[in-house]
Amino acid sequence: MEFKHILVPVDFSDPSKQALEWACELARRYGADLTLLNVYPVPGYVLPDGFVTAGPEILGEVEAKTRESLQEWAAIAASQDVTQTTIATALGQSSSEIVRWAAEHKADLIVMGSHGRAGLALMLLGSTTDKVVRQAHCPVLVVPAAPHVATK
């Protein structure tokens, strides 16, 4: 069993930062590279008669801001001696994009938080992680949220 390419889905929550810490440790041990992936929804407005999608300018701004934030998180991995960390973004529904990205890029492990930005401890797992665990082609390491996060 070898882990060479680890995918870390990041929603910029504390639990996903903890997942990144674990992923860095594993990457060092296995000599794996990391990809930090953020999925964001198509920006727009829901109106009574349909959905209006944001234009290319706003889409470009969201993409640039997301990449900037991912670079900051990638710097954490670089500071922990991970050989190679790349960033990626995807537009759409989080769990399906994570599963699709992992399969297309042949990730051999996904490391993600048990919860994310919503942090509802009532649920055993957040809905993104729940679906990824069920649908991913590869193993998924679920890092539990710290107690102070899980009891929110």
Ligand X SMILES: Nc1ncnc2c1ncn2[C@@H]1O[C@H](COP(=O)(O)OP(=O)(O)OP(=O)(O)O)[C@@H](O)[C@H]1O
Residue numbers at the binding site for Mg ion (CB under 5 A) = 116, 118
End-to-end CA distance of the chain: 37
Q: Which of Mg ion, ligand X, none binds 35 (CB below 5-8 Å, type-dependent)?
A: none
Does 19 participate in binding ligand X (rule CB under 6 A)?
yes
Does 38 participate in binding ligand X (rule CB under 6 A)?
yes
Q: Contacting ligand X (CB under 6 A), which of 77, 99, 113, 140?
A: 113
Q: Which residues are bridge partners to 9 per DSSP?
A: 37
Number of residues that bind ligand X (CB under 6 A): 23
Between CA 92 and CA 69 the distance in angstroms is 18
63: number of Cβ within 10 Å = 14
Q: Specify the pairing of strand 109-113 against strand 5-9.
A: parallel
Does 99 participate in binding ligand X (rule CB under 6 A)?
no
Q: Which residues are bridge partners to 111 per DSSP?
A: 141
Strand order across the beta sheet in which 109-113 lies: 85-91, 33-40, 5-9, 109-113, 140-143
Pick the piece of the chain touching ligand X (CB under 6 A) from 7-15, 56-64, 75-83, 99-107: 7-15
Between CA 101 and CA 62 the distance in angstroms is 20
Does 120 participate in binding ligand X (rule CB under 6 A)?
yes
Between CA 24 and CA 79 the distance in angstroms is 10
Pick the piece of the chain touching ligand X (CB under 6 A) from 35-43, 52-60, 66-74, 80-88: 35-43
Binding marks (x or -) toward ligand X, 49..68, rule CB under 6 A?
A: --------------------
Positions touching ligand X (CB under 6 A) are 9-11, 13, 15-16, 19, 37-39, 94, 112-113, 115-120, 126-129
